[in-house]
């Protein structure tokens, strides 16, 4: 790269751009990180200073339950996809602080809701074979949601013709795998899944993965489903082969829970809230008020890098009780999938099969 620029009459002077270019590259790496469609929508609304109008090509529906909030975000054209930064499709989010607690009645209600929404999203036929993939690293608790969920899935593909006639019609052929991560296997997760899809020819893939959120209040308190596929490792910034209908040739349903928040994102949001509070409590017209109003993103970014350096890009935060919470969440997700996939299984039957 040429580090000189011409000035005047063909004179060349060294650019003082080395440091600036480094700062620009570092800044481009910092972004508000979230895997949730509802948070992508919030970011758009904040940038537009309005909560009235949805982006072009985006439709949002919300339903309040006794212990949950159900939000459906539909992205149905390219403009909506570009605005949201997400592929076209359906995103269904269940939010409940009770997910973090040992609230059995609420969990049963959410399991039934999860099963109902999954059936509508997947549109499964009677004889369809389903492959379930638990993505993530089982050695790291916040990333173990997928493997733990798969361990509770009722797998039945191998039982065809070997179960009593009385219950044969209650079960659909289901296979499950926890492929691990490339750091453990040396194999791209997408390569493993693609090979399995080509071999056993399932009609649908359900991929379970840990996600990242923008708001700490949504950590372990949100379940998102979508029909757009998933990029393994995206929550912590590891871009891998996309698991989608385009790459695998079959529909892909992604189910995820945000288990971490990016530290830089958390600091950025904290600073925004502090600055907003200070602005509302500062007398208008004063020098301090103008200084707060004129604080630019570059200055905020500089402060964030100073606080987190040298871990600006590689620090994630998760609650201390994550072990117990992941156990509960994996049980909720697995049972929701079991009820959704097997037509003869109800909430009352779960204890018999799991």
Question: In the numeric block, which tokens belong to residue 270?
Answer: 């904290």
Q: What is the mean pLDDT of residues 2-27?
A: 44
The pLDDT mean for the chain works out to: 82
Q: What is the mean pLDDT of residues 234-257?
A: 83
Domain ranges of the chain: 31-264+315-353, 265-308
Residue with tokens 């996309």: 242
125 or 71, greater pLDDT: 71
Question: In the numeric block, which tokens belong to residue 31?
Answer: 């972004």
137 or 304, greater pLDDT: 137
Report whether pLDDT(63) > 80.
Answer: yes
Homologous superfamily of the 31-264+315-353 domain (CATH): HybD-like (3.40.50.1450)
pTM (predicted TM-score): 0.80
d(CA 243, CA 254): 9
**Percent of all residues in the chain with a pLDDT value above 90, rounded to a whole number:** 45
Helices (H), 13-156: 17-29, 37-48, 78-84, 104-122, 145-150
- Structure confidence by residue, pLDDT tens digits, 278-310: 888 888 878 877 777 777 666 766 777 777 777
| Cβ count within 10 A of residue 60 | 14
Residues 6+ apart with CB under 8 A from 253: 118, 121, 122, 204, 205, 206, 207, 225, 226, 227
| Cβ count within 10 A of residue 110 | 24
Split at pLDDT 50, 70, 90, the class of 19 is: very low
Residues 6+ apart with CB under 8 A from 174: 129, 130, 131, 132, 153, 154, 155, 156, 157, 341, 342
Report whether pLDDT(4) > 50.
Answer: no
- Structure confidence by residue, pLDDT tens digits, 74-130: 999 999 999 898 999 999 999 999 999 989 999 999 999 999 999 999 988 878 899
Report whether pLDDT(174) > 80.
Answer: yes
**Percent of all residues in the chain with a pLDDT value above 70, rounded to a whole number:** 80
User: What is the DSSP secondary-structure string of 127-156?
Assistant: T--EEEEEES-TTSGGG-HHHHHHTTS---
């Amino acid at each position: 790269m040429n580090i000189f620029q011409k000035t005047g009459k063909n004179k060349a002077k060294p650019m003082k751009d080395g440091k600036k270019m480094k700062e620009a590259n570092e800044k481009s790496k910092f972004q508000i990180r979230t895997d949730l469609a509802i948070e992508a929508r919030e970011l758009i609304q904040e940038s537009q200073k309005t909560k009235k109008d949805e982006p072009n090509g985006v439709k949002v529906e919300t339903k309040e339950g006794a212990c949950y909030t159900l939000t459906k975000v539909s992205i149905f054209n390219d403009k909506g996809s570009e605005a949201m930064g997400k592929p076209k499709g359906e995103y269904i989010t269940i939010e409940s602080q009770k997910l973090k607690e040992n609230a059995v009645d609420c969990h049963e209600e959410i399991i039934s809701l999860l099963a109902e929404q999954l059936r509508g999203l997947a549109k499964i036929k009677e004889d369809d074979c389903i492959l379930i993939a638990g993505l993530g690293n089982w050695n790291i608790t916040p990333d173990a949601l997928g493997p733990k969920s798969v361990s509770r899935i009722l797998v039945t593909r191998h039982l065809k013709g070997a179960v009593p006639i009385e219950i044969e019609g209650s079960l659909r052929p289901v296979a499950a795998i926890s492929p691990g991560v490339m750091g453990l296997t040396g194999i791209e997760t997408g390569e493993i899944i693609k090979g399995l899809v080509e071999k056993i020819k399932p009609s649908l893939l359900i991929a379970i993965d840990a996600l990242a959120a923008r708001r700490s209040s949504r950590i372990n308190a949100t379940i998102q489903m979508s029909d757009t596929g998933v990029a393994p490792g995206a929550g912590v910034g590891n871009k891998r082969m996309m698991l989608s209908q385009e790459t695998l040739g079959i529909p892909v349903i992604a189910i995820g829970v945000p288990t971490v928040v990016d530290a830089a994102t958390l600091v950025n949001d904290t600073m925004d809230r502090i600055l907003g509070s200070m602005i509302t409590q500062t007398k208008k017209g004063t020098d301090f008020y103008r200084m707060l109003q004129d604080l630019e993103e570059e200055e905020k970014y500089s402060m964030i890098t100073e606080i987190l350096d040298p871990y600006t890009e590689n620090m994630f935060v998760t609650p201390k009780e994550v072990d117990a919470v992941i156990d509960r969440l994996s049980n909720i997700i697995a049972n929701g999938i079991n009820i959704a996939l097997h037509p003869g299984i109800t909430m009352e039957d779960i204890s018999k099969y799991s």
